[in-house]
Amino acid sequence: MDVRELQREAEDGSVVAQTILGTCYLDGIEVKSDYTKAFRLLRSAAEQGASRAVTNLARMYAEGLGTAKNLSEALRLYEVAAKAGEFLAQIELARLYSRGIGIAADREKALKWYSAAAAQEQVVSDCEELREAKTFIHSAS
């Protein structure tokens, strides 16, 4: 990955580059973690409609990374991304509702989002999150 090229493209307004580079700064992939840079890049991409950026921005709010922890904003953003079909946003919403962490547990909403995630089985490779969704759905029936 050419980080310098991504930086140039992100500065030129590329939503894809902003999302990728923001995620790199968030997770420390080929760059040192920098939550301030991650937040700025992901917020810019999210404002332009990049659902993966919205998902990562929601995570930053949920965990208080580079910004004050704000679960209501994280939920709002996860829902935006989940409705756009973002698998990981659907999983995170389902987890929050099933565990009732910081919000009232809501098994019906958890099932809704786990089901939405599991419906993407044909486009998402087998992973721990997909197995988690299937297990929850099975236990709910």
Q: Tell me, yes or no, whether 36 and 8 share the same domain.
A: yes
Name the token pair of 68. 């004050």
Of the chain, the end-to-end C-alpha distance in Å amounts to 44
Q: Tell me, yes or no, whether 62 and 131 share the same domain.
A: no
Name the token pair of 52. 């993966």
Q: Tell me, yes or no, whether 95 and 121 share the same domain.
A: yes
What is the CB neighbour count within 10 angstroms for residue 110?
Answer: 22
Q: Which residues are CB-contacts of 115 (< 8 A; sequence separation ≥ 6)?
A: 133, 137
Q: Tell me, yes or no, whether 90 and 32 share the same domain.
A: no
Residue 20 burial (CB < 10 Å; 0-12/13-18/19+)?
Answer: buried
Instruction: Show pLDDT as tens, one digit a residue, over the chain (141 residues).
Output: 899 999 999 999 999 999 999 999 999 999 999 999 999 999 999 999 999 999 999 999 999 999 999 999 999 999 999 999 999 999 999 999 999 988 899 999 999 999 999 999 998 988 999 999 999 999 998
Structural domain boundaries enclosing 61? 1-77
Q: Tell me, yes or no, whether 49 and 95 share the same domain.
A: no
Q: Tell me, yes or no, whether 53 and 90 share the same domain.
A: no
